Each structure stands twice: as structure tokens, then as C-alpha cells.
Structure 1
């Protein structure tokens, strides 16, 4: 017994020593799917000196308010085969949140995984500038003034941009006009709010914008790739061989591409059954939006019709899609946690396994590598886990050949025994 305890102590010491020698970079991603732009960011992490790269990845539903093109397990495998060391799931509550809450949930998981760097792409490529903007946005007088502008009927983004334009010139002036700059600022705000020592590192984005519908410099945007894969067009040249292999495999198994259209009537049914009070309990509801949602749900005969009836200058389409999906999945604002309460591992390689051993020693959050471990969570954390399972069961209806309930419980994490170059 004494000898056994001695070896355990030695192993823990070695794991801790190894952890101290690691330089861990974190990435927030959806990998929907993992394309060449994602590969460039991964290379940037290595160029910044990262010995280990952790990705926090949205699960089966993404921030656009849609099911991911491929399942979270397929996309996690895709990430590790392309060089990510460890993939952690961002639970659905945060994956279907607006940019601020999305970033806060994801960055908190990277912090719990011991990341020292937060790497992301932005149009400006200047982490210092984004940090300066984040600090300004968190000032109480800026927040108060933005809220006052909201009362005039502006959207949140328009109100914030109006106040911003009046206060800042020079390099900061147009910063919040670009989508990846905005997300980068939210990452920096999350770092400040969490009080973590993690440092932001931003790569200037190259190639097409996120929503561009034409490839540029051999890179296709995520939006274009999803359209091409769904339409069975010539998408192979825009993915790595590893990513392409997984897409072909999932399509041949009738596990992809997932599509909202397959559950449209189910979503409409869920919306029609809701009362204004039910809509008011959804995340991100304000200024009487619940009444607008209720009236649209009673009148709409299609999802696009519902979106059109709700959309206005004040309410962005992406926000409406997220609300509709949250209504379908049964996700309400009264979540038991403001931050994710556990680390759910989806995929890793030997580097990731070594990192995971060190993360366990830190003990910041429970770590789930098997579904059975969820039984050891606190009651509130287990409720969140069960919400995740329910969303996975409903995701299975979005597939070309629907799957039964419970597949997320039987799917093992993906382990790649050889580290990809």
C-alpha cells in the first residue's frame, strides 16, 4: 500500500511538472465543418509557441440557431485529425447564446483547462486594440448610455455602435463594424470578467468573410461549404484530406448533412403551443419581444414566415433563429449556472491525454470522458447534462436517416493514438 501511494505521488508530481512546462493555447470554434481557415489558426497557435492546443467546440447546435452540419462527435474527430490536441464541448445553453454569453461560457472552459493563450482570428489582427475596446465597453457609463439608446427603438448592436462612433475615432472608430472583431472583443470582455491571466492573441483573418458565397485564395467560407456539401457540389478542394474523409463517411452513413428543414413542422408545433409567458422565459428576451414571438407563432405557416414576422431593425435574424431553436429544445433563461459546470471531453490525442491528466490535478471542474460519469455531478449540473442529452436526441431527427434516442450516451470519445503533424 505504501509503495502504491508512493508511485501515485510520483506520478502526480510528474504530471504537475509536465503541466508547468506546457504552453497551452485555447480556441473557441464550431468547426462546422473544419476547413482551411481553421487550419491556418491552428498553425498560428503553434507559431505563437503553443505546445498544446485545446478547442472548445459547440455541440450539435450552433450559434446561427441551426443544427450543425455534422454531429459534434464527427466534428471533434475532424479537429483532432487536423492537429487539435483536446476538444471540449460547449454545452447547448451557451452554444445557442448571443455573442457575449457564448464567449463567456467558452472562455471559462478554456480557463478551467489551464490555457495561457486565447487565439482567434479578427479583421484587425490586433489583440491590444481589441482589449482596449473590451475595457471601454465594460465601463458603466458606456453601458448606461447604450441602454438609453435602446429606448429609441434601436437594436442593441445599432445602439452600441452609435455610442461608440460618438466616443471613439482613429483605429477604434470602425472596429465594431466587422463580425470577427466583435467576437474578438467579446472574448476579451470574457477574459476581463473572469479575471483570468489568459492572454489574447489575434491573427489577421485572410480569405473570404464568414458569409461570403465565393471562395478566395483557395479558401471557402463556412457558409459556402455548408451550402456546397448540402447540394453535393464540388467541395473537396476546400477541405483537408482528413476533413473530407469524415464528411464522405458521415454522408455515406446518412448521418449528414443535418438540416433544420427536417424538423420544421416540429419547431412550428412547439412555437404554436407556447404562451406569451412561455416565450418570456426563453433566453435573451426583452422589451416585450415575447408578445411579438407569440403573435408570429400563431400566424406563421413556415419557419421563414415566422422569422419574417418577428424580424425588424431591432431584432436580428440570428437572434430570432436562436430563440426558435431554444423554444423547440426547451431551453429557458433560468439556467442553473452562469458558467458551464463541467468539462465534457469529445476527442483527444496523446498530447491531449497528457494535458487532461494535468487538468484533473487542478480540479477546477468535474471532467467527463464517459457518459456514466455524469451520475457523479451535482443535481444542478446533472440537470444541465440531461438538457444536453435531450438536445442530442432531437438533433438525431435532423439527419437524413433519423437515429433513436441515446446515441450520445453510447458514443465513446475519439482518441487518435498518433499526433498529427
Structure 2
């Protein structure tokens, strides 16, 4: 059975994802689709709209066959680390290829760009340092450094978010000597950060989430932008849990962490740099909500995404020493769900996997997966006690979801 791998968040699963999934399966001539999916907190430093279990159901009911969780120490990270962890999981799970969406849609452009930057590595690094010295953010410095290289205009546009991720995926494949064949599908209609609906059927996850929160879901007109299983599961989640996850639900917890932790301890939080602990503490003392807090801490040097990720690490009390001790590649495969096809694939191929499969946390040593446990506990704290307890127990007792087709 031939498997194609996807790196996803599905926050939530929408029509653009459905297009990418089907196009990936066809491009790879695959029998099985394996997704590695971020858990409760995401790469841009925000809580997932609904739990990883509901997003797993969305994935399985919309065509994915196996879902593995991307551990916290890869998921809430810069693009390079995020890509490295995800690629290592897909490689360990026996995928023959990795297919990602991009603004380019041309895999040769990615390969040529990587070759070009390898030739210009010295100049590229010097340009990054020069731009960083002006006080701009690291992602912006990379983009400007690349644009400043003679001949860069002939290659990939690294100012586009999905091109950047795709570039890091291929870089990780090469660095890990993975056998994964990289493939890419051009994104349709909606840009990654679009906040408004751009077509009749395709919308970004950002615009869908904005509609959900602004219209309280009942009147949000998202049915034309998401498959039926997604719409049904979103409605079900709202009935079961009383709402969706967003930063404002965690504001009180974050504020408490910041105002009760001394500055020396805050310095030890992962990604806390250059006196940011003073800025975060001051903002926590003077802000009434998360949006206001973010506006107070935003600077030219630090992007909104970077500061959101830092805030997640404060929320979960993730220390620099913890992250430093984590492996550069995944150490296990946390199975969240499967279809009949996915189960058949596991039965045939799992003996060839070079990593252990974790099906239930209760059967795994807690210290080896402690960050994911902490993230799940914090994620549950946004809801009333009865629901919170239910979510906390689910993390340990929930077996992989099985969807029959």
C-alpha cells in the first residue's frame, strides 16, 4: 500500500483542505493518506478551535486514513522546527511522499531555490544579520536577505507563508536523508491569512474562524466553505462544550501566570529573550483582555506569531531547559485515529516503522510525553469544571478514533 503524507492543522478542515487532500492522493498515486496534525496548540501560537479529537474526526470523515499527532515541542515552533518534526513522523510512518500546498505549485522552484541558497549560504547569512541589526523580525530579515541576493528573482517567492513552509519541509527531507518524495499543489483562491471570504466555495481557515467567532456560529454562513462532516462536527462541539477555543478564554490563566511569576523565573521560559519578560509582565498588569495585551507587547522586531508562541510557552510553563533536551526528530508516533484503510495499512506496515506507536497515554511513560500532557491539561482549563474534568480524562483514556467508511 502506497502512502502519501500531509502536514496539517485542520483548524477547521475546509474545502481547500479537501481539494489538497484529493489532489495529493492523485499526484502521489497513493492508496493511503497519512496526516501528521498539530495537537491542542498550533504553530502560530494559538489554541485550536476544537480539540484534536474532533479535528481527527473531521480528517477521517473527509478522506484521511491515519492521523498522528505532532508533539507540542514541534507544533508550537518556528517553521524550521515544525517542519523537522513533521517530516520525521511521516518518514517513520512509511510514507513514500509528502505533498504540501504552496503559492508556487512548482516543486522544481523549491529544489532550485534550495540549491541556489546552498551556493550563496555565506552571503545569505550575512544579509540576515545585517537586516536583523536594524531591529526587524527574523522572518522579515530572511525575506529581505533572500531578495537581496543577485538572481533570487528567478526562484521561489519566500515572502509567501506556504512557500516558506514548503521550503522548510524539503530542507528537512534533505537534512534527514529521508526517502520522502516532495510534491506540491498550488493553493486555490484564498490566501493563508485572508480574513474575508474570497470565493463561493473556498475560504481560508482564518476567515472561517473569524466568521464563527463574530456570528456565534448559529448564524455564521460557513456551510458553503466546509464539507458537511466539518459543519456537523462544529455544531456538535458547540452543543457539547458550549463554545470554541480562542485566546480570550485563556486570558485569565495567562495573566495569572505572568503576574504571579517573578522575572527571574520568566526569563527561563522558552523563547523569552532580550528583556521581554519585563514587557510581558507590564502588559499583563495593564491589559483587560488578550487582544489588548498583544497590542501592548507587539514590536517591530517580534512578530505577532512569535509573541503568541511565547505566550503559549508561558501558559504551559515550558522552560528553555525542557526544549533544549528534546530530540530534533520525533521519538514516537501518537496515533489519534484511523479508518479501515488506515488500520489495514498499520497491520501490514507497522513492523517496519522505526518508532513506537502510542495508542493510549496510560500505556506510555509520562516523562516521555510530559509536554503533550501539560498542553492537554491547559487546553481543558478554558471550560467549566464538569467539561474540564471530562476533557482531562479523555487525554488519558481516549483510544484512537476509528471511522468506518
What TM-score results when the alignment is normalised by the length of structure 1? Answer: 0.86
Q: Give distance in 1, aligned partners of 2:329 and 2:261.
A: 27
Match of 1:218 among 175, 180, 201: 201
Inter-CA distance 168–123: structure 2 relative to 1 (3 Å threshold): farther
- Give the aligned partner of residue 386 of structure 1: 370
Match of 1:406 in 2: 393
For 1:109-258, list aligned pairs within 5 A: 109-137=89-117, 140-141=121-122, 142-169=124-151, 171-172=153-154, 175-212=157-194, 213-230=196-213, 231-232=216-217, 233-254=220-241, 256-258=243-245
In structure 2, the residue matched to 1:304 is: 291
Mark the CA change 1:184 to 1:414 in structure 2 (over 3 Å): closer, same or farther: same
Cα offsets for 1:278-306 (capped at 9, x unmatched):
33333334444444444444544432333
Q: Cα distance, 1:144 vs. partner?
A: 4.3
Following superposition, which runs of at least 4 residues in structure 1 exceed 6 angstroms of deviation?
Answer: none
Secondary structure of 1:70's match? coil
**Do 2:109 and 2:156's aligned partners in 1 also have CA atoms closer than 8 Å?**
no
Separation of aligned partners in 2, 1:175 and 1:192: 20
Offset at residue 255 of structure 1 (A): 5.6
- Which residue of structure 2 lines up, in the alignment, with residue 348 of structure 1? 338
**Cα distance, 1:261 vs. partner?**
1.5
Q: CA deviation at 1:350?
A: 1.8
The structure-2 alpha-carbon separation of the partners of 1:311 and 1:384, relative to structure 1 and needing over 3 Å to count, comes to: farther
2:18 matched to 1:32?
Answer: no
For 2:50 and 2:108, locate their aligned partners in 1 and report how far apart those are by CA, in whole Å: 35
How many residues of Structure 1 are paired with residues of Structure 2 in the alignment? 391
Matches within 5 A, 1:309-328: 309-328=296-315
Kindly state the Cα deviation for residue 155 of structure 1 after the two structures are TM-superposed. 1.4
Summarize the Cα distance change of 1:110–1:164 in structure 2 as closer, same or farther, 3 Å threshold. same
Match of 1:280 among 264, 267, 271: 267
Indicate yes or no: 2:62 matched with 1:82. Answer: yes
Structure 1 unaligned spans of 5+: 1-21, 376-381
Q: In 2, are the aligned partners of 1:210 and 1:223 still within 8 Å (CA)? A: yes
Relative to structure 1, the CA distance from residue 296 to residue 257 in structure 2 (aligned partners, 3 Å threshold; closer, same or farther) is closer
Q: 1:57 aligns with which of 16, 37, 42?
A: 37
Q: Whole-Å Cα distance in 1 between the matches of residues 37 and 134 of structure 2?
A: 37
Q: Scaled by the length of structure 2, what TM-score is found?
A: 0.90
Structure 2 unaligned blocks of 5 or more: none
CA separation of 1:68 and 1:244: change in aligned 2, threshold 3 A:
same
C-alpha contact 1:259 1:399 (8 A) present in aligned 2: no
Q: What is the aligned partner in structure 2 of residue 396 from structure 1?
A: 380
DSSP-derived class of the 2:148 partner: helix
Task: Give me the whole-angstrom Cα distance separating, in 2, the residues matched to 1:412 and 1:46.
Answer: 27
- Structure-1 separation of matches of 2:31 and 2:153: 33
Relative to 1, partners in 2 of residues 1:363 and 1:255: Cα closer, same or farther, differing over 3 Å? farther
Q: Is the 8 A contact 2:67 2:338 kept in 1?
A: yes
Shift of 1:220: 1.7
